[in-house]
Amino acid sequence: MATTETSYRVSSLPQELRETGDERPFIRVGRTLDVGAFGVGAAYQRQAGETVITDHHEASPGGDRHEELYVVVQGGARFTIDGEDVDAPLGTAIFVHDPAAMRTAVATTDDTIVLAVGGPRGSGYRLTPAQSQDGFWEAYGEQDWAAALASTRRALEIYPGNAHLLYNVACMQSQLGNDEEALTALRESVAQWEPYKEMAEKDDDFVSLRENPRFLELVA
């Protein structure tokens, strides 16, 4: 049976990553190719010695407890997983099966590309709470707080009561000057995920609330 034009899609990672102009861009390959069965993206670092995979884990409220497979498809990297260094030259595949494991990676050569594939074990793939905020970061970068808030509210329809999304609601309500709504959302968020207390205490989105006694009580 002949392959039709619509049975596959093709994307050039080096071309897409370099066209961004950023030193460390991340391309959502799944969105570009409309992949629905699993999460997939690619990180690019122009300079050796700089971060290619940021420090993170997949067990926070913004994630969905994904297991992740990293494949170095260009260049080389050095991963640090739960404090242990792992050299990853070209062609290396590293599978982080524990969602709570902290992981990061630094490029060991210029023009390094790491492909990341992830999903939760035992259940169907879906966008994580953080990824469900379609358009959030674009609106945030433009300081369009209302649009960013609307994006987060749409995500809450998929993940009602999610601590990560509620935290972002609190941030945007604070930026909009809606102190009562901001404090209510922040209270619900930090009650579920205590590390958000320290984050909120330092977060510039809450500058207007820094002297508010109720805010200080929430982050104490």
pLDDT digits (tens, 9 = 90+) for 119-137: 999 888 888 999 899 999 9
- Top-level class of domain 136-219: mainly alpha
Residue type, 2: A
pLDDT at 1: 37
Q: Ramachandran region of residue 65, left (φ > 0), alpha (ψ -120 to 50) or beta? A: left
DSSP letter at 190? Answer: H
Domain with CATH 2.60.120.10 in the chain: 9-120
Which pTM value belongs to this model? 0.75
- Top-level class of domain 9-120: mainly beta
Residues 11-64: pLDDT tens digits? Answer: 888 877 666 666 567 888 988 898 989 999 999 999 999 999 999 999 999 888
Instruction: Give the C-alpha separation, 55 to 71, whole Å.
Output: 17
Domain with CATH 1.25.40 in the chain: 136-219
User: 79: burial class by Cβ within 10 Å (0-12, 13-18, 19+)?
Assistant: buried
> Taking 60 as the threshold, does the pLDDT of residue 4 lie above it?
no
Residues 143-168: pLDDT tens digits? Answer: 999 999 999 999 999 999 999 999 99
Instruction: Give the C-alpha separation, 25 to 92, whole Å.
Output: 21
